[in-house]
Structure 1
Amino acid sequence: MSGFVAVHTGAGNSIDETKYQRVIKEACIRANAILKNGGSSLDACEAAIIRLENCGSTNAGFGSNLTWDGKVQCEASIMDGSNLQFGACTNVSTVKNPIQLARIICDRQSKMLSMDRIPPMVLAGEGAAEYASEVGCSMIEADKMISSKAKICYNHYKTKVSDCENRYNIKINSLDTVGAICVDADGNCAAGCSSGGLILKVSGRVGQAATYGAGCWATSTADMSVATCTTGNGEYLMKTLLAKEICTDLMSSECGVTSLHKVFKQKFIESPFLPADQDLYGGALSLVFHPRSNCGEVIWSHTTKSFCLGFMSTEYKVPKFLLSPLPTYCTPGKSIVVNGQPFSFKN
């Protein structure tokens, strides 16, 4: 069987991203094995993100950033390109792998509840946790979701702002949300993302990783499949519906790199919905696949100093890693880097 997977550990403002290479490799290999054994793109996407959530060094699942009150509140979403179903959860503290819950919600979108009630697309807080327990998700005590890294980071920034009069006006740029995109042997694609949100975020805040059209998007047709997952300043990604905008343009473009650059420039950097006087940090990992020729392109774009990612086709023996730094002459938050690399596989 054949397939392709790509994962990222977030767009950030540090070029020291090599610490993520081991977990990126493991996530790619785990997803690749599923694709080789005939698993779906949704299966592979979920498995890759679960590995990223469990590693403790990313801002997703175990090790997520802490809220102002010192709690973990995670969120995740996943989308199935074959049927356009989407599932998400947010503000969960006792679900070990938020992407697992998002996947279940996604799968159940087509199954009406009793008395023809519409199934949920997004679940939050205690209701999400109760639902997760009922459907068999792995549960964990809230305090066990806090890693030593997250605690140290929390204490560091809490001390920095202890004398700040307005706790809501804090500029912290830690953007290591995780995401994955996959395509399987049938040409169907999937995309997902998972995040602990901003450091010292306001309790109850919802970010792009749980927002329809902002965190991830995937769609598959007989002629083309596209998928994307985003990272960055969540509120800005939500205001611009960046994930959906990226995929919509990719579907009608002849050049993926040109398309991604145009969308980032016109729909993000120059968006009338966003402040013109602030740095706009964002990144996206995308793919375009043509089922009839079994070839495609993985493309990534970011306005941050760096973007750490890896990808693997079932044709590869090992994953390929990329650390994409912003050129020294560019201004982070205002300049765009776009790269792409072709891939192919055989049925």
Structure 2
Amino acid sequence: MMDSISLSQLKRSLSSTASTAHFMMRSQKSCCSSSSSRNSSQDILPAIAGVASVEASGAKDAKNTTRAGVRSMPLVRSSSGFETTVSWDSPGDDRTQSETPHVTARAKKNRLRVTHESIIPLPKGATINPLVPPSRLHRHSAPHMRVSTEQSQPTFPKPTIQPPPSPASPDIILAVHGGAGTHAPHTHKPLLSLLRRSLAASLAQSSGDLTAPGTIIHLTCALEDSPLTNAGLGSNLTLLGTVECDAGMMDGVRGDFGAVGALSGVGNPIGVARRVMEEAGRGGVAGLVAPVLVVGEGAGRWWAERGGGGVDQDLVTEEARGRWRRHLGWLREAEEAARGGSNSPSDSGKRKRGPPSPPPITPNDTIGALLSTPSALYATASTGGTSLKPPGRISSAAHYGASIHARRVTAPSPPGMDHPAMDIACTVSGTGEQLITSLFAKTLVDAVGVHNGDCERALRACVEAFLADGHGERNVGVLLVKRELASSADADAESPTRSRRVVECWWAHTTDTFAVGYVSGGMRRPFVAISRVPRDSAGRRKRFVVEGRCVK
């Protein structure tokens, strides 16, 4: 006489049977009506319970086996010395979907003895794949499950393999800076991480459907969306406690330029600048001249009329609000001191102690990005401006030739020599008014051409002239990319000058620190760094630093 066991014991011994019933109930619920699903699910558990008496002397033998790399269901042996097998029919098989699964057997010595056979009904229209979770079953894609007398191995539809994304072109280079200023040591790690992630993500996007301008917009927006930078979200506040952003973009191949200034409520002003540049490049309609710069409330309306979204975003962060209050307090004290209204010893003592320590993360000046390929050249800049600026103030990011410039230049060469053309682009950070009056970005690009492509020489000359022109503290940080283009002499593949067509990335700054980074399609990971102005042997800080690298 065989021992009877409970339903829970049966489920543990015949795990495959319980798993099959679970799949069937789940697919029945998704394919049948609520009433029919309730009735059928009530029929399934009694069907399992019908296999109620087993002699569990060899339950460990009911294992999953692997044949030809395909997972198969465990074998269940009946009381009369037979075993059941499970197979699947593909949707293209001549058997219909509504066939009822049944139990058949073949003679073999058994260890698990089942008192009688049970037929588990498969709801009409349901399809089951034991290797796919029930929530992902689909009646048109999953194979049909049934119990068959055939001793064939399970067959499955061939999976659709998505090809891996194509790698980025080795000729593309992306460069970015996070602003020139004084970065506190505890801000270095998060800022470098932001630059690294932004460069890697934008390079990956460049291998997809994004065009060259779309790629550099993606890179710039990544920095605007982070409160770590003084652009977009978390920007410095005006004197009235509001956010007004400026941004500019230039196409170095076509010479097109577009910018937006004093824009409120738009988290990615670089997108507006791109639209201005593209419309300016196409020209006006009906004889009207397309603008290259739109500002203030008119810029918001201009963007909304063209379907631009997010014109009422709240870009003020708690950190920016706290910084604004501290700066406003310093300003009020300085104004009182200038009017001579604070001469008491207590007030004098407060001023001698100086301002409180800086906030945990201090945004610095304008951010910028560069993109260079053999056929495209772009430069961008975006900023929230200086803290406590008067409303309506426009920074250098929105001025032509001040913070960004990009163009194809031909360096002078001796007669009879074919000197290659060069793509040169730069994006500049610093004190906006000083950059506007000196046209620093355009002057630098022109100087590289004048100096026969010698970027270091051109950078040193421009920074020296910038420091000598004017009084007081003068701040600038510049990132530059130069690509030599193939000349007619390089048409011959064996030309010795062909191997010298390199891309160079340079940066220089007069501020204490400057966050920079770049990546190319041939690099394994982006390069990022916090550049610092060194000190001489006597410990005195040098006036500026110039550094550069050849890009692989």
TM-score, length basis structure 1: 0.90
Partner of 1:21: 192
Partner of 2:468: 270
Partner of 2:343: none
What is the distance in 2 between the residues matched to 1:321 and 1:297?
A: 15
1:339 aligns with 2:339: no
What is the distance in 1 between the residues matched to 2:546 and 2:464?
A: 11
The letter for the 2-side match of 1:68 is: L
Q: Does the aligned pair in 1 maintain the 2:229–2:364 contact within 8 Å?
A: no
1:161 aligns with 2:319: no
Q: Which has the higher strand share?
A: 1
Partner of 2:300: 129
What is the distance in 1 between the residues matched to 2:540 and 2:286?
A: 55
1:301, distance to aligned residue in structure 2 (A): 0.5
225, 250, 259: which one aligns with 2:423: 225
1:331, distance to aligned residue in structure 2 (A): 6.7
Partner of 2:282: 111
The letter for the 2-side match of 1:218 is: A
443, 450, 463: which one aligns with 1:252: 450
1:40-59 matched pairs, under 5 angstroms: 40-59=211-230
Between 73-82 and 214-223, the greater mean CA deviation after superposition: 214-223
The letter for the 2-side match of 1:35 is: S
1:179 aligns with 2:368: yes
219, 230, 239: which one aligns with 1:68: 239
1:249, distance to aligned residue in structure 2 (A): 0.9
The letter for the 2-side match of 1:261 is: R
The letter for the 1-side match of 2:476 is: G
Partner of 2:101: none
Partner of 2:479: 285
SS at match of 1:322: strand
Q: Does the aligned pair in 1 maintain the 2:228–2:363 contact within 8 Å?
A: no
What is the distance in 1 between the residues matched to 2:304 and 2:430?
A: 30
Residues 235-272 of structure 1: CA deviation (Å, up to 9, x unaligned): 00111000001111112324211211111112x1112x
* Pair member with larger Rg: 2
What is the distance in 2 between the residues matched to 1:269 and 1:331?
A: 18
What is the distance in 2 between the residues matched to 1:89 and 1:245?
A: 22
Which fold has the larger relative contact order, with Cα–Cα distance below 8 Å and residues 6 or more apart in sequence? 1
1:243 aligns with 2:435: no
Q: Does the aligned pair in 2 maintain the 1:208–1:234 contact within 8 Å?
A: yes
510, 515, 518: which one aligns with 1:311: 518
What is the distance in 1 between the residues matched to 2:438 and 2:364?
A: 18
The letter for the 2-side match of 1:284 is: V
Partner of 2:508: 301
What is the distance in 2 between the residues matched to 1:176 and 1:18?
A: 18
1:190, distance to aligned residue in structure 2 (A): 0.8
RMSD over aligned Cα atoms: 2.4
1:60, distance to aligned residue in structure 2 (A): 0.2
Change (3 A) 1:27 1:168: farther
What is the distance in 2 between the residues matched to 1:281 and 1:270?
A: 12
The letter for the 1-side match of 2:530 is: L
SS at match of 1:90: strand
Q: Does the aligned pair in 2 maintain the 1:233–1:281 contact within 8 Å?
A: yes
What is the distance in 1 between the residues matched to 2:483 and 2:337?
A: 45
What is the distance in 1 between the residues matched to 2:178 and 2:229?
A: 7
1:140, distance to aligned residue in structure 2 (A): 4.0
The letter for the 1-side match of 2:233 is: F
Aligned pair count?
A: 335
Q: Does the aligned pair in 2 maintain the 1:7–1:27 contact within 8 Å?
A: no
Residues 3-44 of structure 1: CA deviation (Å, up to 9, x unaligned): 000101101123523321122112212321243347544222
Change (3 A) 1:167 1:112: farther
Q: Does the aligned pair in 2 maintain the 1:187–1:290 contact within 8 Å?
A: no
The letter for the 2-side match of 1:230 is: V
1:328, distance to aligned residue in structure 2 (A): 2.8
The letter for the 2-side match of 1:342 is: C
Partner of 1:205: 393
1:225, distance to aligned residue in structure 2 (A): 0.3
What is the distance in 1 between the residues matched to 2:401 and 2:475?
A: 18
Q: After the TM superposition, list the runs of 4 or more consecutive aligned residues in structure 1 that deviate by more than 4 angstroms.
A: 166-169, 171-174
What is the distance in 2 between the residues matched to 1:200 and 1:18?
A: 27
1:161, distance to aligned residue in structure 2 (A): 2.1
What is the distance in 2 between the residues matched to 1:37 and 1:224?
A: 27
The letter for the 1-side match of 2:224 is: E
What is the distance in 2 between the residues matched to 1:179 and 1:255?
A: 22
165, 184, 193: which one aligns with 2:381: 193
1:324, distance to aligned residue in structure 2 (A): 0.8
Change (3 A) 1:305 1:111: same
What is the distance in 2 between the residues matched to 1:168 and 1:94?
A: 35
Residues 39-71 of structure 1: CA deviation (Å, up to 9, x unaligned): 544222211110000011110011110001100
Q: Does the aligned pair in 2 maintain the 1:67–1:73 contact within 8 Å?
A: yes
SS at match of 1:287: strand
What is the distance in 2 between the residues matched to 1:168 and 1:137?
A: 45
What is the distance in 1 between the residues matched to 2:212 and 2:272?
A: 17
What is the distance in 1 between the residues matched to 2:337 and 2:218?
A: 37
